[in-house]
Amino acid sequence: MAKRILRVDMTKLEANFEDFPADFVALGGRALTSTIVAKEVDPLCHPLGAYNKLVFAPGLVTGSKAPTSGRISVGGKSPLTGGIKEANAGTNFAQKLGRMRIAAIVVEGKHKGDDYYLLKVTNDGTEIIKANKWSNKGLYDVYKELYKEFGDKVSISGVGIAAEIMGAASGICFNDPEGLPSRYAGRGGLGAVMASKGLKFIVVDDTGAPGVEILNKEAFNMGVKKLTNALTSHDVTKPGGALNSFGTGVLVNIINEAGGLPQRNFSSGQDDRSEKVSGEVKAEEIKKRGGVRPHFCSPGCVIQCSEVWTKPGGKDPVGVLEYESVWALGPNCSIYDLDVIGELNRACNDLGLDTIEAGGLIGVAMEGGLTEFGDEKGALKLFDEIKKKTPTGRILANGTAFTAQAFGVTRVPVVKGQSLPAYDPRAIKGIGVTYATTPQGADHTAGYAIATEIMGVGGTADPKDTNKSDLSRNLQLATAAIDASGYCLFIAFAVLDIPEGLVGVVDTLNGVLGTSLTVNDVAGYGQQIIDTERAFNKAAGFTEKDDRLPEFFLKEPLPPHNEVFNVSDEELDKVWGA
């Protein structure tokens, strides 16, 4: 069985398999989603209209035994940024698609009625089922119902109440290994795109699937060995290493100490109370409560930076509390209680909200007077507004920029309409360059300069040095290529420091594709993806002025180091040669 595309027409309520185009053979993940969106979507279309498309694509090696490779890319035109978008998640949903040799699911058209539908995909065919009985409900209960209906071997992708009200802060939810709705392709409002088409869930059953085709097994197996050796020997990624022991939350103390952990809607970069929500404290609490740590987001992960956070006594599991989520719903809102953050995270998962955007919108809502900074109950009540679909809830569900505009807030931490993640660009300049210049809107994963500036991975760089165009560009190109491969971005910690690991990545790609790529081809592959995305955004009306940070970053000194973002426009434009 050759690779294929599943095209889902929501206008006709039809789903059909197509042959995978020969000129797409080397494309997977982000490379494939961005290519299909660029070819088939009018950049000027309304993101929530009939002419936008939503594309799900596993990476090139996803579904194989390649380590830490269970990633999926979801792409479309973003209702949050107005440009092209790729959101990424780790989930066995991606692995099942890979094993079924489904290179992409393309959702197009728009159901004209009020009904919602579920798409069931098996190795033998598809079925489109009415899903109204699962709408207007929290995803924790719904996922339980879906497993009861379709069996515990399936994987699920879905959207929640935030998407039903077309919220641009809504993400696309995937199950974790326990079946919890906690793995998100969260960014850019793609959940609203899915809901706008009348599609609520995709359920995948890979029983009888042929598996990922490996054209050169010797090269593939050699690559798996090299990459596994790198991942299991690097201090950040190895068993018992930083990520394995403490999860992504290991960064809380590190970034706070650097003065770059945003507090109270980016008004300060440091607060001693942040230690209460650190990865170290969280890991100890999980051990006491009977949660799970370390843990994988998808089978086959060597790093295992995930976890299952619970209430005391191991009750009511939430899923993972990632660094970004803990910061966004915690210090950014002046909240320093992991139990409260856990419940805020649960509310996001239940409603189908991106936790980064959710923390951003709560932060500006607090600054706008809807509740006070540090008001834990008030924050939870704001999520209730979304759940109830009130007018205030509809404002909040549309994200940080929309909420700030509605309530007259001028400190608005967004780029291209998307809320900034957990690193203040005034304290750490390179990540600010990435925020400004990635086609994706403010996104730390697009070119993770923190690795070099703070962690000393892939070399060293002074966080306050303003000459960061080369660092950001090189990381953005490498990241785009990794996003296409299906590997988790966290392999970069090892492969940036251990050259043999990067050779292993390329070997596995050659094994799957039957090609003879070298390490020198990685940057060019990434450049093609970025060029495709930038061309789409340019056609949508973006200019170099969109590759800038909000003015308060340039004007307001950030305590405790009283830095401003003083990277010049010329340096920002050098990233892509604008």
Is 354 strand, coil or helix?
coil
**Do residues 15 and 128 lie in contact, with contact meaning Cβ atoms separated by under 8 Å?**
yes
Which residue is listed with tokens 């403010």? 442
Q: Transcribe 271-340 into DSSP letters.
A: -GGGGGGSHHHHHHHHHHHT-EEEE-SSTT-SS-BEEEEEEGGGEEEEE---HHHHHHHTGGGT---HHH
Cβ neighbours around 4 below 10 Å, total: 16
Residues 6+ apart with CB under 8 A from 578: 544, 547
**Do residues 334 and 263 lie in contact, with contact meaning Cβ atoms separated by under 8 Å?**
yes
> Rounded distance, CA 62 to CA 244, Å?
21
Find, among 385, 402, 252, the residue nearest to 330 by Cα.
Answer: 252
The predicted pLDDT at position 578 comes to 62
Residues 6+ apart with CB under 8 A from 327: 252, 261, 262, 359, 421, 422
> Rounded distance, CA 377 to CA 433, Å?
36
Find, among 65, 59, 68, 201, the residue nearest to 127 by Cα.
Answer: 201
Cis status of the peptide bond prior to 294, with omega within 30 of 0: yes
Which residue is listed with tokens 């492969």? 495
**Number of alpha helices (DSSP H) and beta strands (DSSP E) in the chain:** 23, 17
- Spell out the SS3 assignment of 63-93: CCCCCCCCEEEEEEECCCCCCEEEEEEECHH
* Residue 203 region by backbone torsions, left for phi larger than 0, else alpha for psi between -120 and 50, else beta: beta
**Phi, then psi, of 209 in degrees rounded to 5:** -70, 145
CA distances from 543 to 439, 467, 491, 548, 578 (A): 11, 22, 33, 10, 9
Domains, in order of start, for the chain: 4-205 (3.60.9.10), 249-424 (1.10.569.10)
**Phi, then psi, of 46 in degrees rounded to 5:** -75, 130
> Rounded distance, CA 249 to CA 257, Å?
14
> Cα 571–360–551 angle (5° rounding)?
35
**Do residues 387 and 373 lie in contact, with contact meaning Cβ atoms separated by under 8 Å?**
no
> Rounded distance, CA 466 to CA 566, Å?
7
The predicted pLDDT at position 1 comes to 81
- Residues of the chain short of pLDDT 70, as ranges, are 578
Radius of gyration, CA atoms only, the chain: 22
> Rounded distance, CA 325 to CA 381, Å?
18
**Do residues 342 and 355 lie in contact, with contact meaning Cβ atoms separated by under 8 Å?**
no
List the strands of the sheet with 54-58, edge to edge: 14-19, 4-9, 102-108, 54-58, 71-77, 84-90
> Rounded distance, CA 82 to CA 187, Å?
13
Per-residue DSSP letter, 108: E
- Spell out the SS3 assignment of 7-18: EEECCCCEEEEE
Q: Judging by beta carbons within 10 Å of its beta carbon (0-12, 13-18, 19+), is residue 217 exposed, middle or buried? A: exposed
